Structure 1
């Protein structure tokens, strides 16, 4: 039984496309490769850390959970080589809670960056004080090493 013409034409088209695109796709990099996170180096200076303005606010949407509210910490990024990472944390040991965010620095030479902690929710049953001791910290990861840029002890107020 002979092969139908449309099916044969489709098979020939697919074969030609595979033969032609194979060498072309290999020769032309259509994606821009970003170095792995943490690889490289950068100069980073801490411009400001929101020490007295970090609070636990109660949600207004009926759930009653508390959320960490903080203005951004600000860093200035100097020369960047590769893709180092800045890590920003607010640690509240009395609640066993740490809010952490990570920022890759590839292509950010000369920028000022606002760092915000990732959102965390805390059950109201865990809140038993009006304020908690906490630590705000910013680290720079270059390769397999993390360098402490700043650590500051703060007090986090609970807003009811």
Structure 2
């Protein structure tokens, strides 16, 4: 004897889920983070950012490319009003290179956030010096405010 009830139950479940989350009923099945900045601000209690680790190194496995290595930043947010964003920027103007990452926050959100701009490829032929000047900025931005948490000039070492 073959049971035919489980496929019917699964099909019925899928049908109900589609109807409930569809445009007629409009139940939100997934909570999403906001992606657009608004008004507001955030209170930052601590920042972990190793600016001394910003450097340019050769690529791996014999590739003919170098990389600007940018460490992640860890930001502890105590409170949020409105919908501001955390913005982490690293720039090396002489090489016309910049990296950034952002996190849009929501009202009442608190916790620790990791901002990870990632690495950026650099043509080795464009590296004419062993040291470059760079800038690091960590900001809380919204339509009503822009607060700089970290603003630092850094030395970017080229490791060959």
Whether the TM-score (by the shorter chain) exceeds 0.5 is yes
- Equivalent positions of 1:4-153 (< 5 A) are 25-26=24-25, 28-32=27-31, 34-35=33-34, 37-39=36-38, 40-106=40-106, 109-143=109-143, 145-153=145-153
5+ residue gaps, structure 2: 1-18
Contact 2:71 2:118 in 1 (8 A): no
* Unpaired runs of at least 5, structure 1: 1-19
Cα offset, 1:152, TM superposition: 0.3
Contact 2:70 2:90 in 1 (8 A): no
Describe the shift of the 1:112–1:32 C-alpha distance in structure 2 as closer, same or farther (beyond 3 A): closer
CA distance 1:96–1:46, shift in 2 (3 Å): farther
**1:52-105 Cα shifts (integer Å, max 9, x gaps):** 221111101333211122332221111123432111111101101111111122
> Retained in 1: the 8 A contact 2:51–2:71?
no
**How far apart are residue 45 of structure 1 and its match?**
4.0
Q: C-alpha separation between the residues in 2 aligned to 1:60 and 1:50?
A: 22
Two-structure CA RMSD over aligned residues (Å): 2.9
The verdict on how the C-alpha distance between 1:66 and 1:144 changes in structure 2, with shifts beyond 3 A counting, is farther
Deviations 1:7-42 (A, max 9, x none): xxxxxxxxxxxxx87x98345444546545212332
Q: Per the alignment, do residues 102 and 65 of structure 1 end up closer, same or farther by CA in structure 2, a change over 3 Å counting?
A: same
Structure 1 residues 66 and 27: alpha-carbon distance in aligned structure 2, compared to 1, 3 A threshold: closer
Deviation at 1:51, TM superposition (A): 2.1
Q: SS state of the match for residue 156, structure 1?
A: strand
- The count of residues paired between Structure 1 and Structure 2 equals 142
- The Cα of 1:124 is off from its aligned counterpart by 0.6
**For residues 141 and 80 of structure 2, what CA distance do their matches in structure 1 show?**
12
C-alpha distance in 2, partners of 1:45/1:141? 16
TM superposition score normalised by structure 2: 0.73
